[in-house]
Structure 1
Amino acid sequence: MGASTSSEPRVSEEQNEAESVAASTGALPMLEKAFSKLANPQTNAVSLENLQQRFNLAGEGRSCSGSNVPDSLTVMLDHLGSTLVDQFFVPDKGGINWVAFVKSYNKCCSRVSPSVSLNMLLRVFVAISESANVPIHLEFESGDTDCKINGHLFPRDVFLLLALCWALSWGSRNLKGEGNLSLPDLNHLVLSVITSCGQVEGAFDVWDCDISILEVQLPAGKFVTWVMSTLPCLPDCLRLYFNARLQIAANDGSEKNMLHMVPRCCKINYSLAEWQVELAPSNSSSPGDISSIAAHHHLLTQGRAWAISITNKSRVSEEISGAFISNGSGIGDNLVYRFASLTLNPIPRFADRTPNILNFVGRLTCLLETEMSIDIQLFWSHVEGYKGPLLILISASSEEPREGNSVDRKWVIGALTHQAFETKDIFYGNSGWLYSVGPVFHVFPPIGKEKNFVYSHLRPTGKVYQPHPKPVGLAFGGTPGNERIFVDEDFAKVTVRHHSVDKTYRSGSLLPDQGFLPVEGIISEIEVWGFGGKEAKEVQNSYKKREELFTEQRRKVDLKNFSNWEDSPEKMMMDMMSDPNAVRREDR
């Protein structure tokens, strides 16, 4: 018992090592299932043509849509499948055997350092560019996965790399045959690279520039540093796509030879290291597009949401990515609060007022229909009771003096909190992130020196004398009176201060060309997005129902406990407080 017979095949040491590495990621059962469906039963190997079609993103009738999609990107996507197979699979006689199949997976998806993952991503990018005849000026010193990268990139090259990573993220979630890949606006990320890594000669206006024609050399070393500090999860896009394609193959119930048919799985759960990704069916005809009007006009666009989601690896990032990349049909459920100011044209005094009155009525109707709030009290009524991560985006405009005139500049900043809002006159919280969202994207994680993450103070009810009243409003970072971001109680102005006042979040400018003096901006829009899942929303709904019940009970008055008001002691006390010196005659 327990002794092996001579008829049992002996497993090689190479196979044991490859399988143990795959088992450490939890992917070994999936790989066994995928290999059994992809391999030829006669040769027990997978052909290269089979794998290339599996890893190819561009299917029949699928195209890449967007306002600024370069032709080179479409050509690069056509070579995605063949490039991935050439980079990670080493064929043997007759195709890819089981050991080579597992080792290829480990080469791309095993746990490695972030620098190695970025090195693999850049190698794939360079290889795809060469196949598409797109010149990229990057050189690798050796064939090692952690070698030094030399050369430089141009802004258009950075855009292509980011667009490729977006396509990989999109492809890891939208694996159906129909639907076009919709490329979002990624200029805020490209501008972040330019301002962090490049030296632009002359005046450079981030609000008005064409990145496709900028001839700014961005050194490879500085670009790698930017990725590690700003978008450390960017290389995971490649691993997630690679893993998702094999997962789909493992769950494919169609015939092995019908490779042109893409499986339509109802629900697929898969894990890759710490990532947990869920693929669900889409109700829309184009699963990759967010076609709703509400989503189109939100501050949190697809490109901004994707950028925020790859700044750190957490469940919150996965919620953001899932809501905006999958299909966009459920993003309305994540919107907790929205405010947008109205700009009404003044009504002329002697001219025809009909068009202006109609404009006023129309905008006022829009205000009431969309439930736009105008102060912190109404903001609090929307966010109170939400026990989960919240993403706050603030759009404002400030005046910039230029040649004797002032120019309005619009910018967007944000804050991600991992705890619920509380009514306190002190800072609180355990974690949080600040973001410069537009026109340039930057991220400011916590640095651990202080814990002044969130400040949300409401005006106290009742007439209570306070010798030193605390500021009323919403703030992030800094100290009371010197907050890094402070929104006043009317939600009319936001003040952004220099990072020297803040020891909670990473230093850096939240606004382009931000100086040492505080910058005041006029708020135009505020959005709060909740990413605590259905559970957080259900808890908030239960909390609101309970508060409404308590409020209704407090409003009820038991008339049996009241006698004549004229004889009540309450009336006597009120009369004495109104005029305590009045002469009163006692009735006998």
Structure 2
Amino acid sequence: MGASSSTANPSPEAHEQREQETLASAALALPLLRAAFTRTAADAGALPDALAPPRASFRLPGSPPPPHFHDLLARLGPAIASLFSADGAAAGDAGWVPFLRGFNRCCARVSASRSLALLLRVYAAACDATGAPCGVQFQPDEGGDEDGKVVGELAPEEIAAFLWMCWVMTWSGSAPKASGDGGDKSEEPVVVLLPDVTHLVLSALVSAGAVADDDGIWGWKIPSGGKGVKVQEFTSWMLSTASGLGNCLSRYVQDRFRSLVADPAEESSVSTVNTTFDTSDVYLLTRGRAWAIALSLRNKLSEKFLSASVIGMDTEDLLYRSAIHGKGLSRFWSGVEGYNGPMLILLSAFSKGGVENVDSNRRWVIGVLTEEGFESKDTFYGSSGFLCAAHPIFHMLPPSGKEKNFVYSHLHPQIRVYEAHPKPVGLAFGGTVGNERIFLDEDFSKVVVRHHAVDKTYQHGSLIPNQGYLPVEASVLDVEVWGLGGGATRRQQDMYKKRENIFSEQRRKVDLKTFGNWEDSPEKMMMDMMADPNRVRREDR
């Protein structure tokens, strides 16, 4: 009876432990967490070291890293470890329940705004420890929130440093044991190129009204500085445009603990060749654009783009590129036909500046994310899709839910017939036939982008700077199509192409054995009659 009453009425400590374990097990397995706690509880500096990113040398293409950036990353582990402290005690002195409480503070499922506020707190603590400039401040909240209210203002350089810090946290999940991490400190760290985040910084500035004129977007550089953004406006932008940042801290802590308790032999065998990207971006789908798309999506494709932002896209997924395969709808079709999976189409173009002059520096990039393959139809089709402004500013336009004119892809029919009102030949997205939101002509030489007022399929928003209400006609520079369906979808496409090739070969071949003797053929009889129609012919009996 005593045992049963003790089980029925557990002590407050046991009840809290059970609650914390249940909450933590939803994010990470309890045996793994116990192993991580065992390894970090003996030494006060073990937990900050375990939560530090892998040792690497980060830089930008052709330029040194941002000031204080490496120092900021060096203080990232202690800043996150401070969240595990219990009542101001040292992180290593905490017990199992305080450890779970700190883990749940970082990784438990909470609102996106709270996750972003915690991420900003980590960034502010790391900046404060290194003396780096940071406009993020915290005020006590009257509602009793222990984290306090986030206030302050972030300069463009600080926004870029914050985004780069978040990208490094994502990168560390793919490089758990990079060269020099936890091993011989004399080894040279791997060199990792940071992605370009100018389009994301500009998006935050435009959203907050810090850059009001579209002309100010062209040629804008992060070191040029400018007006800052209030933290509340920056948080609103993250919630609307880059909501994936809310999972950044939780994913990072879980990845670091997995790396901590992993078998050293297995970790040392992990290849680090693909954990760095040691060449400049050569495709329209750069790592920075892939990361921006990953942060804006809330479906399974987000993981695909997240991986691409770290190691780049697999070239096997490149279905078509006009610079390689040639321009034109027929060349495009030969690359995408038979691919029944989601695809990303990126288009680079430039508008005419003035009457005849063309300013090639004002090149812009837009994209379309489709959920299914292309079909040759004279009507719109599709179940879902996204429009994307990728350069010089980034934002995604999801479906509006009002109409379903997602994709239009019409080729010339193989059998030509008279049409009183022929349908346009080319690719289109959104709008209606004749008034498409985006229309790419048959030769892939011209693209027309119309105002969002003509489109009820995708949400409102401009795709290019200075778009205005009139249709914008631009010259196409390059077109890329990336398949996102994985290896199984690509194998199905290869099988489809093989079948089509076999059928084409069969149609081209002529088997002479199937024909009869020329003397008995109807063709010879017709030719003889045309040569001498008055000749009397008798039937052979």
Distance 2:526 2:84 in 1: 87
Show the counterpart of 2:185. none
Show the counterpart of 1:504. 457
Distance 2:101 2:522 in 1: 88
- When the two chains are superposed, the root-mean-square deviation of aligned CA atoms in Å is 3.1
| Aligned residue-pair number | 516
Query: Cα distance, 1:400 vs. partner?
Result: 2.5
Q: Per the alignment, in what secondary structure is the counterpart of residue 160 of structure 1?
A: helix
Within a 5 Å distance, the mapping from 1:27-426 to structure 2 comes to: 27-36=29-38, 38-39=39-40, 45-57=41-53, 59=55, 62-67=56-61, 68=63, 69-90=65-86, 91=89, 95-142=93-140, 144=145, 148-178=149-179, 179-200=190-211, 204-253=215-264, 264=267, 281-282=270-271, 284=273, 287-291=275-279, 296-325=281-310, 327-328=311-312, 331-340=314-323, 370=324, 372-401=325-354, 407-408=359-360, 409-426=362-379
Distance 1:478 1:572 in 2: 59
Distance 1:479 1:455 in 2: 9
- 1:455 matched to 2:408? The reply is yes
Distance 1:165 1:130 in 2: 17
Show the counterpart of 1:343. none
Distance 1:466 1:565 in 2: 41
Q: Per the alignment, in what secondary structure is the counterpart of residue 303 of structure 2?
A: helix
Show the counterpart of 1:364. none
Moved more, 17-26 or 409-418: 17-26
Show the counterpart of 2:186. none
Q: What is the letter of the counterpart of residue 288 of structure 2?
A: G
Contact 1:412 1:437 in 2 (8 A): yes
Say if 1:80 and 1:464 are closer, same or farther in 2 by CA, change over 3 A. same
Within a 5 Å distance, the mapping from 1:439-450 to structure 2 comes to: 439-450=392-403
Distance 1:423 1:247 in 2: 48
Q: Which has the higher helix share?
A: 2
Moved more, 555-564 or 544-553: 555-564
Q: Per the alignment, in what secondary structure is the counterpart of residue 515 of structure 1?
A: coil
Distance 1:586 1:436 in 2: 77
Q: What is the letter of the counterpart of residue 250 of structure 2?
A: R
Contact 2:81 2:91 in 1 (8 A): no
Query: Cα distance, 1:265 vs. partner?
Result: 6.0
Contact 2:352 2:358 in 1 (8 A): yes
Query: Cα distance, 1:290 vs. partner?
Result: 4.4
Contact 1:414 1:434 in 2 (8 A): yes
Contact 1:47 1:96 in 2 (8 A): no
Q: Per the alignment, in what secondary structure is the counterpart of residue 434 of structure 1?
A: strand
Query: Cα distance, 1:200 vs. partner?
Result: 4.0
Provide TM-score, normalisation by structure 2: 0.87
Contact 1:120 1:145 in 2 (8 A): no
Provide TM-score, normalisation by structure 1: 0.81
State the identity %: 45
Contact 2:175 2:272 in 1 (8 A): no
Mark the runs of 5 or more structure 1 residues left unpaired by the alignment.
40-44, 255-262, 267-280, 341-369
Query: Cα distance, 1:29 vs. partner?
Result: 3.4
Q: Per the alignment, in what secondary structure is the counterpart of residue 296 of structure 1?
A: coil
Say if 1:2 and 1:432 are closer, same or farther in 2 by CA, change over 3 A. farther
Distance 2:214 2:471 in 1: 23
